[in-house]
């Protein structure tokens, strides 16, 4: 979800075009997870992207699902058949090709018609470049990460699954319904999520963000103001790089348009709002019944914790920084 959130901030010429950051966990998971667990991870990736981008009920969700299933399926088959003869770079390139092909076919029938083939060359070229770069990063992380090495040494996930089941059974503090603080807060937070994901009213989005910040502060939780401001400004700057709409300022080779500015502000409010609402909901923990409920709870918790820790990532040594965060979260 965190990588999907980062990717959402990157402006793109077409809504379903993606850099593919969220494919990195899939590349790394092939050597660690069995097939059922890998399929669950793919589903979480698809749903996470849809929730973060607010595209769950749009055609973008269909494109994302088709690309993800095609990419993950081909990468899994290649890895299991070629095993040590193929690296993360090869898997990433193959996955990018499969994803692009699936999305291009859908674009041919649902959006562009025959003209879809005109965008095929740049589409596949961009996918090749990003697939190669992501594969290089995945290779580097797999070779240098102590956390990933530990995960590979613990391939038998049954022990971990048993621990989770035990944790679920021993959670005597769980009380169904709104008696549990986390469940009660989730019920209150759902309307906030709905506004953030589906509203385009900037004042309403700003109000939700402000309320969520106040709620977090009432819990006496620390808010890192400077990283938040930097994140907001970076999101807006990214979106201003793709101008559209009425020009409101132009000079020094820079064009600022109303459409790009509003889109940047909207995305910034969305991301900050999701983070603060999640922090407030999960302040007391959120334990849902059953294995799937526990999985959802853990995913939301990790999303929030990684979002808070991401400010400590050193651009000069990304792998080491992420590795340290993953070891801490683990």
pLDDT of 132 reads 92
What are residue 257's phi and psi, to 5 degrees? -115, 155
**Higher pLDDT among residues 289 and 123, named by residue:** 123
Helix (H) or strand (E) holding 260: helix 258-281
Residue 40 lies in a domain: yes
pLDDT band at residue 90 under the 50/70/90 scheme: very high
Residue 194, number of CB atoms within 10 A of its CB: 12
For the chain, what's the residue count?
Answer: 330
Examine the domain organization and report whether 62 and 188 are in the same domain: no
Examine the domain organization and report whether 11 and 104 are in the same domain: yes
pLDDT of 173 reads 42
22-26, 231-235, 281-285: the lowest-pLDDT one: 281-285
Residue 209 lies in a domain: yes
Examine the domain organization and report whether 6 and 131 are in the same domain: yes
**Higher pLDDT among residues 8 and 180, named by residue:** 180
Helix (H) or strand (E) holding 162: helix 158-170
DSSP 245: S
Residue 274 lies in a domain: yes
Examine the domain organization and report whether 200 and 271 are in the same domain: yes
Examine the domain organization and report whether 41 and 139 are in the same domain: yes
Mean pLDDT throughout 227-236? 82
pLDDT band at residue 296 under the 50/70/90 scheme: low
Per residue in 157-189, pLDDT tens? Answer: 444 554 455 444 444 443 444 446 667 777 888
How far are the Cα atoms of 94, 215, 226, 318, 320 from residue 140, in angstroms, in the given order?
18, 40, 30, 10, 10
pLDDT of 166 reads 47
pLDDT of 277 reads 83
User: Which domain range does residue 260 map to?
Assistant: 181-286
Residue 21 lies in a domain: yes
Examine the domain organization and report whether 20 and 106 are in the same domain: yes
* In the chain, % of residues over pLDDT 70: 64
Examine the domain organization and report whether 126 and 8 are in the same domain: yes
Per residue in 28-83, pLDDT tens? Answer: 888 888 888 888 888 878 877 666 555 555 556 777 888 889 999 999 999 888 87
Average pLDDT over the chain, rounded to an integer: 75
How far are the Cα atoms of 24, 105, 304 from residue 5, in angstroms, in the given order?
14, 26, 12
Domain end (from 95, 127, 144): 144
Examine the domain organization and report whether 31 and 101 are in the same domain: yes
pLDDT of 6 above 50:
no
Residue 32 lies in a domain: yes
* In the chain, % of residues over pLDDT 90: 12
Examine the domain organization and report whether 24 and 139 are in the same domain: yes
Residue 113 lies in a domain: yes
pLDDT of 9 reads 45
pTM: 0.56
Examine the domain organization and report whether 25 and 119 are in the same domain: yes
Q: Residue 247 pairs with which residues in a beta bridge?
A: 257
Residue 137 lies in a domain: yes
pLDDT of 111 reads 60
Mean pLDDT throughout 128-149? 85
Domain end (from 118, 144, 170): 144
The structural domain count of the chain equals: 2
Domain end (from 144, 173, 207): 144
Residue 282 lies in a domain: yes
Examine the domain organization and report whether 87 and 216 are in the same domain: no
**How many whole angstroms separate alpha carbon 224 and alpha carbon 221?**
10
Examine the domain organization and report whether 191 and 64 are in the same domain: no
């Amino acid at each position: 979800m965190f990588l999907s959130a980062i990717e959402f901030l990157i402006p793109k010429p077409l809504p379903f075009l993606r850099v593919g950051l969220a494919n990195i966990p899939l590349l790394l998971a092939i050597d660690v997870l069995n097939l059922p667990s890998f399929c669950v991870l793919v589903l979480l990736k698809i749903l996470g992207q849809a929730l973060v981008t607010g595209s769950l009920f749009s055609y973008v969700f269909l494109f994302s699902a088709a690309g993800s299933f095609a990419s993950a399926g081909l990468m899994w088959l290649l890895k299991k058949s070629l095993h040590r003869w193929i690296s993360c770079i090869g898997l990433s390139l193959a996955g990018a090709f499969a994803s692009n092909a699936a999305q291009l076919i859908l674009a041919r029938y649902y959006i562009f018609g025959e003209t879809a083939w005109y965008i095929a060359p740049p589409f596949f070229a961009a996918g090749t470049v990003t697939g190669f770069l992501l594969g290089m990063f995945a290779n580097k992380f797999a070779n240098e990460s102590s956390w990933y090495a530990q995960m590979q040494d613990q391939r038998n996930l049954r022990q971990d699954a048993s621990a989770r089941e035990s944790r679920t059974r021993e959670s005597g503090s769980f009380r169904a319904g709104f008696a549990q603080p986390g469940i009660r807060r989730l019920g209150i937070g759902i309307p906030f999520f709905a506004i953030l994901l589906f509203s385009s009213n900037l004042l309403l989005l700003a109000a939700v963000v402000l309320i969520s910040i106040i709620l977090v502060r009432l819990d006496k939780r620390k808010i890192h103001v400077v990283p938040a401001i930097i994140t907001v400004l970076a999101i807006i700057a990214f979106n201003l790089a793709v101008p559209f709409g009425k020009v409101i300022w132009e000079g020094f080779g820079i064009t600022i348009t109303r459409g790009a500015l509003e889109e940047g502000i909207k995305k910034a409010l969305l991301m900050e709002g999701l983070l603060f609402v999640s922090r407030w909901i999960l302040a007391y923990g959120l334990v849902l019944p059953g294995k799937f409920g526990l999985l959802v709870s853990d995913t939301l918790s990790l999303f929030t914790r990684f979002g808070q820790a991401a400010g400590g990532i050193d651009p000069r040594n990304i792998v080491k920084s992420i590795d340290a965060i993953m070891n801490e979260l683990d």
